[in-house]
Amino acid sequence: MKRIAQDRTQATKAVAYMRTSSATNVGADKDSERRQRSAIEAYAKRAGMTVVDWFYDPAVLGADPIETRPGFSALLDRIEDNGVRAVVVEDASRFARDLVAQELGILLLVKRGVRLLTVNGDDLCDTSDPSRVMMRQIAGAFARYEKARLVARLRRARELKGKMGGRKSLMETRPEVVELARKLRRTRSGKQRSLREISAELAARGFVAERTGRPYEAAQVSRILKKVRTAGRHSRGRGHSLRADC
């Protein structure tokens, strides 16, 4: 595997990516995030790099698909057209433990001209190894297959839901998640958080999708907030009606 030579003549901008598998290891009093951050900072200092942003996926398994991770999705948004061409991780397993998930994530970075570096100086995007290039091609084909399979499964689920009369909404089964998502929509300074940021905050506080055990996808958060707005409008409408009756 290719190693990156240290170049101190000019600081290279990079973003950092961290991941913690279990929700029990998430929190200010836990070691995982702190250890990863410390290792990345030490490497950046040695390599003459400047870490301009940090991205973290708490309670995300190493085998979880890259495209479902809120932190990594936000990282991709951050590096689009901003000059950052390096992502630093503690080691390959912090990026992904599953080989297909790892190679698919690397493929997404390679397409954007971005390198994935470990604190040992390994370049995981190295294209000099034919076997790794082949694995990326296989991973890309597998991802397309999985996407098609998921679309078909969701279609069948919608059809079944229509026949059975639907199921209870999240507002009925987990109102605390809906309320917290509403509160997280804006920061204390009034800035609006992105859907992925809300998902990451929910996961950090132990709220993940019940069926998958993973952080809510951006589309799920969007539906939650839409339900909150709809409920608010209905509530205001009932208030106006009551006043009119009086």
What confidence score (pLDDT) does residue 236 get?
A: 52
Q: Using an 8 Å Cβ cutoff, are 190 and 182 in contact?
A: no
What confidence score (pLDDT) does residue 46 get?
A: 94
Q: Measured between alpha carbons, how far is 151 from 167 in angstroms, rounded to an integer?
A: 20
Query: What torsion, rounded to 10 degrees, do the Cα atoms 104, 107, 109, 111 define?
Result: -140
For the segment(s) 12-131, the CATH number from 3.30.70.100, 1.10.3720.10, 3.40.50.1390, 3.40.50.300 is 3.40.50.1390
Residues of the chain under the 70 pLDDT cut: 1-11, 23-25, 27-29, 81, 132, 135-137, 139-141, 143-144, 161-172, 228, 230-246
What confidence score (pLDDT) does residue 241 get?
A: 45
What confidence score (pLDDT) does residue 1 get?
A: 53
Sign of CA dihedral 17, 20, 26, 32: negative
Domain coordinates in residue numbering, the chain: 12-131, 168-239
What confidence score (pLDDT) does residue 17 get?
A: 96
What's the predicted TM-score (pTM) here? 0.52
Q: Which tokens sit at 16?
A: 């950092």
What confidence score (pLDDT) does residue 209 get?
A: 84
Query: What torsion, rounded to 10 degrees, do the Cα atoms 101, 60, 208, 142 define?
Result: 0
115 membership: H or E segment, kind and range: strand 115-118
What confidence score (pLDDT) does residue 144 get?
A: 67
